[in-house]
Amino acid sequence: MRIIMFKKLLNSLKAQKVSYSGVVKHNEQNYEWAIEDYNKAIELNPKFAIAYYNRGLVKQTQQDYEWAIEDYDKAIELNPKFAMAYYNKWLVKHTQQEYEWAIGDYDKAIELNPKLAIAYYNKGKINFYFERYEWAIEDYDKAIKLDSTDFAAYSSRGESKYHLEDYEWAIEDYDKALYINPNNDSDYYNRGLVKQTQQDYQWAIEDYNKAIELNKTNFKAYYNRWKLYLDLKDYKNTIKDFNIAIKINSKDIEIMGAYYNRGMAKDGLKDYKWAIEDYDKAIALDPKNIWISELKKAKKISKEKEQKKSLS
């Protein structure tokens, strides 16, 4: 009996050593060798929950999601209070867009570890996805209470408040996020979007300027800034922003509207010939779009203006 117990203890110690070797190899991105170490650790100690969990992490990294979930489930079976196993199982389900199923795993992770701020944050992201903005805000509130330095939680809460048309509080959250992380171009863009909605155009442009300064490829910042320039009849800057944006993303569905807007800007500059060309490009991109009648109408007006211009 004592020999059997000693052998189990020895195997358990060996399993821990081999499992640690797997962690090292995982960190070195030697994934196949890491899995081999975890396999050996599990063979030595089939009740070693952490080895299953760590093997699940490797498989998750390799995007082998089905097997990752199986390992997390085994880790949970062996240790029903393994909060991080529930958490990472949720992450896999989130990746696979199984959002409603994922919430159950997050709730369990939170039940086991009520101070797991990231669990509240990610649960909030799911509720936001399903447009349950009030619930999302409650989750972000809890995440922020646990970690007041989490700028992403402030950003996400601001986005939820924006969708609830609670604009002043949304701006306050973006202000807090930017105070913590002043180099996040997305937060400048989103705050600009709120200000644009409030018709505070100059401050919106300032935020889009900052977003672009931080990220020269921020397509949405260019897109919304040129729409503001167009509304303000600043046609030269409208065209300038469009020309940059089209180089960044020539396949986006919004590009049709972009050609339409540039056409309007060229029309404003009395450059009717080129305005017509942009309207033609917009029509060719999506001939069945609901805005086609507006495009054709704009094209017709520009043609009439061009004819008058050539006769004068």
Q: Which of 99, 87, 166 is nearest to 130 (CA)?
A: 99
Q: Which of 216, 279, 289 is nearest to 247 (CA)?
A: 216
The CA-based dihedral angle spanning residues 156, 161, 163, 164, taken in that order and rounded to the nearest 10 degrees? 150
Q: What is the pLDDT of residue 110?
A: 83
Q: pLDDT for 15-63, tens place per residue? A: 788 888 888 888 899 999 999 989 998 998 888 899 999 999 999 999 9
Q: What is the pLDDT of residue 206?
A: 97
**Helices 201-214 and 185-197 sit at what angle, rounded to 10 degrees?**
160
Query: What residues in the chain have per-residue pLDDT under 70?
Result: 1-12, 96, 98-102, 250-254, 289-299, 302-304, 306-312
Q: What is the pLDDT of residue 6?
A: 40
Q: Name the residue type at position 223.
A: Y
CB 19 within 8 A of CB 50: yes
Q: Which of 26, 18, 24, 21 is nearest to 44 (CA)?
A: 18
CB 37 within 8 A of CB 21: yes
Q: What is the pLDDT of residue 296?
A: 65
Q: What is the pLDDT of residue 178?
A: 97
Q: What is the pLDDT of residue 100?
A: 65
Structure tokens at 255: 């590009």
In the chain, what are the domains? 1-96 (1.25.40.10)
Q: pLDDT for 104-115, tens place per residue? A: 777 877 888 889
Q: What is the pLDDT of residue 125?
A: 87
